Amino acid sequence: MNYPNLTINTEKCIKCGMCVKDCIAHCLELNQNTNLPQFKQGKEWTCIKCQHCLAVCPTGALEIFNKNPDNSESISPINSEELLNLIKSRRSIRQYKPENLDKERLDKLKNMLKWTPTGVNNHSLHFTFVDDIEVMDNIRTMANKKAEKLLLNPIVQFFVPHFKGMGKAIQEGNDVIFRNAPHMVIVSVPKNAPCKREDPVISLSYFELLAQSMGVGTVWCGFAYYCFKLFPSLAEYIGVPDGNRVGYVMLFGKPDVKYSRTTQPDDVGMNSATIQSEREFPVLTLIKRFLTNILG
Ligand SMILES: Cc1cc2nc3c(=O)[nH]c(=O)nc-3n(C[C@H](O)[C@H](O)[C@H](O)COP(=O)(O)O)c2cc1C
């Protein structure tokens, strides 16, 4: 890790201690004589690089990791109704225009990805983009060939009968895996990352919402995810870093379908916990719950 290089602009610092209070790693303190923030002795290395100290400082007096607070963006209020409408109107897009997305929107989507939260602020995600529809077509052909062979294998079909229909669809030239999408993003993560399951999915959730707010269609692609898992040569071909596990896959591009209204999903299960004395569960129920939580 880089040395944190904490620099305080003594003219701007009002010694409010907010940087110290908001430090999750508890590695900052106010100097007893000057009241200026500083690292606790030897604690520089516990800093998780979250930059909360830089972000929370009301006067922009604190620089860390050579990040000048003047280069941060200001925070504008968000219209929650618009955000809620975006969440409600987001749809999985499976009809795409057979053309590349403009560079401006592609770059905006890519640049956002460093802001998505990761466990322990680990930020070790890697994004492999298929920027060009010709490359996508190449991958599509390779993956469909491999998938068709696997899905039409009688032994595989014996264990998973519904694979037969999918195999036939691919045989007939339907791109049931990649939905004829012109682009794809594969997020991968080192196997030792602290939140290797969660971080990729969170990043693509952010990606999806920003994309759809910009008129870019997206669809989560479990089928492609399993293709990359089952056929490691495909992951290698597109440049997923060696040693990374594929976290998830999202297809995207200019949509060739327009939805006129939101869907009307059924209510989800929900409960609100209340204060009550701990209930006694039979031992078997507790064991079942424990296993479900751990292995689930
Ligand atoms: C984890 C995950 C994996 C998915 N995999 C696929 C997929 O492989 N192919 C596909 O067409 N849709 C896939 N979907 C999209 C769902 O089928 C979709 O969310 C559902 O049909 C409801 O449509 P909506 O997203 O427009 O509400 C996936 C969604 C999620 C969350």
DSSP result, 168-221 = HHHHTT--TTTTT-SEEEEEEEETT-TTTTHHHHHHHHHHHHHHHHTT-EEEE-
| 114 and 196 part of one domain | yes
Q: Output the residue whose Cα is nearest ligand 1's atom 28.
A: 220
Ligand 1 atom at shortest distance from the alpha carbon of 179: 11
Question: Is the residue at 195 inside a domain?
Answer: yes
pLDDT at 104 over 90: yes
pLDDT at 242: 94
Residue from 143, 154, 101 nearest 236 by CA: 143
Question: Is the residue at 237 inside a domain?
Answer: yes
Average the pLDDT over 224-245 and give the result. Answer: 95
Check residues 4 and 132 and name the one with the higher pLDDT. Answer: 132
Question: Is the residue at 219 inside a domain?
Answer: yes
pLDDT at 296 over 80: no
| 179 and 109 part of one domain | yes
Query: DSSP character for 282?
Result: P
| 42 and 184 part of one domain | no
- The size of the chain, in residues, is 296
User: What are the residues whose beta carbons fall under 8 Å from the beta carbon of 189, sequence distance 6 or more?
Assistant: 124, 125, 126, 196, 199, 200, 244, 245, 247
Q: Output the residue whose Cα is nearest ligand 1's atom 21.
A: 92
Question: Is the residue at 178 inside a domain?
Answer: yes
- Cβ neighbours of 16 (radius 10 Å): 16
The reply to whether ligand 1 has any atom less than 6 angstroms from the CB of 204 is: no
| 59 and 155 part of one domain | no
pLDDT at 279 over 80: no
Domain that holds residue 249: 81-253
| 22 and 125 part of one domain | no
Question: Is the residue at 235 inside a domain?
Answer: yes
C-alpha dihedral over 262, 112, 106, 203, to 10 degrees? -60
- CATH number of the structural domain spanning residue 206: 3.40.109.10
- Cβ neighbours of 79 (radius 10 Å): 9
Query: 277 pLDDT band (50/70/90 cuts)?
Result: confident
Overall domain count for the chain = 2
| 135 and 211 part of one domain | yes
> Please, are residues 199 and 247 in contact by the beta-carbon 8 Å criterion?
yes
- Asked which of 25, 46, 71 is the last residue of a domain, the reply is 71
What pTM does this model have?
0.93
| 46 and 166 part of one domain | no
The reply to whether ligand 1 has any atom less than 6 angstroms from the CB of 219 is: yes
| 38 and 160 part of one domain | no
Question: Is the residue at 199 inside a domain?
Answer: yes
The reply to whether ligand 1 has any atom less than 6 angstroms from the CB of 220 is: yes
Question: Is the residue at 156 inside a domain?
Answer: yes
pLDDT at 2: 65
- CATH number of the structural domain spanning residue 29: 3.30.70.20
Q: Which two tokens stand for residue 154?
A: 């009688």
Question: Is the residue at 284 inside a domain?
Answer: no
The reply to whether ligand 1 has any atom less than 6 angstroms from the CB of 91 is: yes
Pocket test for ligand 1, best of 202, 219, 228 (most atoms within 8 A of CB): 219
Ligand 1 atom at shortest distance from the alpha carbon of 94: 11
Q: Which two tokens stand for residue 71?
A: 């280069």
pLDDT at 19 over 90: yes
Poorest-confidence range of 109-118, 127-136, 239-248, 285-294?
Answer: 285-294
- Asked which of 15, 50, 71 is the last residue of a domain, the reply is 71
| 97 and 234 part of one domain | yes
The reply to whether ligand 1 has any atom less than 6 angstroms from the CB of 226 is: no
pLDDT at 77 over 60: yes
Half-sphere exposure of residue 83, counting CA atoms within 13 Å on the CB side?
5
pLDDT at 278: 77
| 27 and 149 part of one domain | no
- Asked which of 29, 44, 71 is the last residue of a domain, the reply is 71
> Please, are residues 123 and 189 in contact by the beta-carbon 8 Å criterion?
no
